[in-house]
Amino acid sequence: MRLKPIHEQVVVLMGASSGIGREAALRFAPRGAKVVLSARSLPELEALAEEIRAAGGTATAVAAEVTEFEQVRDVAERAVTEYGRLDTWVHLAGVGLWAPFEETSPAEWKRVLDVNLNGQAYGAMAALPYLRDGGGGALIHVSSVEACIAMPFQTAYAASKHGMHGFLKSLRLELERERVPISVTEIMPPGTNTPIFDEARTRIGTKPKPFPPIYEASVPAEAILYAAEHPVREMVPGGLCKAGVVAQGVAPRLMDVFLRWQGFHTQKTDEPKTDQAPTSLFEPLPNGDRIQGSLSGQARSWSTYGWLERHPGVKGALLVAAAGSAMWLGARAVGCCAPPAEGGGTEGD
C-alpha cells in the first residue's frame, strides 16, 4: 500500500480547534497539504484557517458536532467539493471526565462514549466512501494509551478508548481482506499537555493531570504526519508508555498493583476544582483555541522512542545490534563457565 506524499494530500482534521489537532494542522499546512479543519466552534476554526492562509497555506473551516453523523458527513462532502478528493482523515475530537464510576451520571457516561467512540465511528463512516472513490488513503484515529491501559477515575474515558481500539482492529481486518488500499492507523498518545485537563469535568477534588510522563502536543502530532504517508497499524509515541502497554499485555496483575499504588494521586494537581466549574463536556468553552494546557513546565517536547517509531530502519538496526550484543555476551559467559577439556593443560605442557 502506498500513500501520497503530504504535499499532494487533502487532509481532514476532526477536532482541529485546539490541542493535538491544532498542532497537527499547523504542521500539515506548511508541508503543502490542503487542510479541512473541523470542531464544534467555528470562530476558533476560522481564526486557525486564516493563520494558515496568511502563512501561504490552504485551509477551509467547517463546524461540526461529531455526535451528529450528518454533520460529520458534511465535512467529508465539503472537502471533496472544495478540493476534489479526500486523501487522509484524522479524527482527534474527544472529551474527558475525571470521576469515580459511582459518581458518574448516565448523561455524562453517554456523552463521553458518544464523542470518543461513536464520533470516531461516524468519522470513518463519512470518510470511507470518498477514500474508496479516490483509490485509497489513510484513516488516522487518535485514541490514547488508555486504549490498552485503563486508569482509575476514568471509567467512561477508558471504556471509550478500549472500544475504539477494538473497532479499529475489526475495521482494519475487513479492509485488508478486501485488499482496499486504505490504511487504518491508531495513534495512542501518552499524557499530553493540552487544554482537555483544564476544561474537563472533575469530581476528584482537584483539576486533573495526566499520568506521567507528560509530553507536548508536538510529539503525537509528528506521529500523525508520519502515519499520513506510511501505512502503520499503531503508534505509541512515548517509550515508557509503550513499555506500559507491553507490560499490560504480559503481566496485567502486576500492572494492577502498580496502578493501585501510583494511579490515583498522580492524576491530581494541587489546584482545587469542583464539578460546578465550567467544562467543555457538553459545550465548547470560549477561547478554546490553545494548543498547550497549563502543564508546560512538566511536559517533554521530545520522545526518543517516538523518533525511532518514525525511523524504523534505525530502530531495526538498533534491535539487531542489541540482539547481537546479547548473543555475544551470552557466548562469552558460556565460554567462561565451560569446564576445562579432559586431561587438562595444553599441547607442549
- Residues 220-273 have pLDDT tens digits of 999 999 999 999 999 999 998 999 999 999 999 999 999 999 999 999 999 999
The cell numbers describing 129, all together, are 466512501
Quickly state the pLDDT bin for 331 (edges 50, 70, 90). Answer: low
pLDDT in tens, 175-230: 999 999 999 999 999 999 999 999 999 999 999 999 999 999 999 999 999 999 99
Q: What is the per-residue pLDDT for 70?
A: 98
Mean pLDDT of the chain: 92
We report the CATH number of the domain holding residue 93 as 3.40.50.720
Q: Which of 90-94, 205-209, 296-300 has the lowest mean pLDDT?
A: 296-300
Catalytic residue among 122, 130, 157, 215: 157
pLDDT value of residue 77: 98
- The answer as to whether 206 is a domain residue is yes
Task: Report yes or no on 67 lying in a domain.
Answer: yes
pLDDT at 320: 66
Q: What is the DSSP string of 88-101?
A: EEEE-----EEB-G
| pLDDT at 278 > cutoff 60 | yes
Enclosing domain of residue 96: 6-302
Label residues 36-62 b or e (16+ Cβ within 10 Å = b).
bbbbbbbebbbebbebbeeeebbbbbb
The answer as to whether 242 is a domain residue is: yes
Cβ(132)–Cβ(114) below 8 Å: no
Please check whether residue 317 lies inside any domain of the structure: no
Amino acid 345: pLDDT? 46
User: Structural domain tally of the chain?
Assistant: 1
Indicate the range of 38-52, 71-85, 110-124, 306-320 predicted with least confidence. 306-320
Q: What pLDDT sits at residue 330? A: 60
Sign of CA dihedral 226, 230, 231, 232: negative
User: Does residue 338 surpass a pLDDT of 80?
Assistant: no
In a domain, 320, yes or no: no
Q: Are 155 and 101 spatial neighbours (Cβ–Cβ below 8 Å)? A: yes
Q: Residue 157 catalytic? A: yes
pLDDT at 313: 79
Contact partners, residue 265, CB within 8 Å, separation at least 6: none
Tell me the whole-structure pTM to 2 decimals: 0.90
Q: Is residue 328 part of a domain?
A: no
* 11 inside domain: yes
Q: By mean pLDDT, which of 22-36, 236-250, 322-336 is the weakest?
A: 322-336
What does the DSSP assignment read for 196-231?
HHHHSEE-SSEEE-PSSSEE-THHHHHHHHHHHHS-
In eight-state DSSP terms, residue 16 is -
**Three cell numbers written together for 336:** 567462561
